[in-house]
A = this chain, B = another copy of it.
């Protein structure tokens, strides 16, 4: 593999996204100098995997990295930014959040951007970056090029997205991934309560996902709500009478389907 330009990286954060991104960057030949996490175990573990140093204090971040990738829970980002950027005028700073605008860096750093991998990351599962959309935004063309070169070593699908676009992409991903997974979990719960294995649903889950590669989801819709089969809907609501929250959710999503 061709050696990447001398991009040296500090990972600020050691959560699921930081972990998978860090591993992908190391596989692509990049040097991670240091990992920061408030939690010592997390910092040490990820640093170990990436052959990097670590710190639990933002005041002890190394100064000589060329790229600082901030991948923290969104709510803690604002308070940490000044410490992360201070005295590092020549570095490039990015965050990896779908819903945080790029302008959080304004006035704090001169060279900055966003690198948003559109994917779901769990600690327990390796995930391929090759086909994952990586959405980029940068303060200027030079910074964009640096990020693009790096992102293209990870994925074939590197695209520009403005902060405005990115927040809607993130919102759509909450429905198409997070809420979808919750629907799987509710299916599992219903089966488990009746002594039935979740695995029964896997072929259906797979086909439901495969279908929307060929048909727009609007046209792929099946089930009692789209047929407006009131008999079945009523019977299902009755089956959920011990779960008022699920009953309400069933009614609401069904209405949303047949009104659409």
What residues of B have a CB within 8 angstroms of the CB of A121 in the complex? 222
For chain A, give the interface size range.
Answer: 35 or more
Binary contact readout A210-243 vs B (1 if CB under 8 angstroms, 0 otherwise): 0111111111111111110111100110011000
A118's contact among B178, B200, B231, by CB below 8 Å, is which? B200
In the docked arrangement, what's the CA distance between A130 and B224, Å? 25
9 inter-chain pairs at a CB distance below 8 angstroms, sorted by A residue, are A74-B231, A167-B235, A171-B240, A178-B221, A180-B184, A181-B217, A181-B223, A202-B213, A206-B209
Q: A133: CB under 8 A from chain B? A: yes
What residues of B have a CB within 8 angstroms of the CB of A80 in the complex? none
Which chain B residue shows the least CB distance to A132?
B203
Binary contact readout A49-92 vs B (1 if CB under 8 angstroms, 0 otherwise): 00000000000000000000000011100000000000000000
Q: Are A180 and B205 in contact (CB under 8 A)?
A: yes
Among the stretches A5-13, A23-31, A106-114, A244-252, the one at the interface with B is A244-252
Q: A204: CB under 8 A from chain B? A: yes
Which chain B residue shows the least CB distance to A98?
B232
Interface of A, helix, strand, loop or mixed by DSSP: helix
What residues of B have a CB within 8 angstroms of the CB of A39 in the complex? none
In the docked arrangement, what's the CA distance between A131 and B206, Å? 11
Chain A positions near chain B (C-beta within 8 angstroms):
16, 73-75, 99, 118-122, 124-125, 127, 131-133, 157, 164-165, 167-188, 190-191, 193-194, 196, 198, 200-209, 211-227, 229-232, 235-236, 239-240, 245-246, 248-250, 252-253, 255-257, 259-260
Q: Are A133 and B200 in contact (CB under 8 A)?
A: yes
When A175-B187, A196-B165, A229-B74 are in contact, do A203 and B240 touch as well, CB less than 8 Å?
A: no
Q: Are B223 and A177 in contact (CB under 8 A)?
A: yes
What residues of B have a CB within 8 angstroms of the CB of A236 in the complex? 99, 170-171, 174
When A211-B122, A224-B174 are in contact, do A245 and B249 touch as well, CB less than 8 Å?
A: no
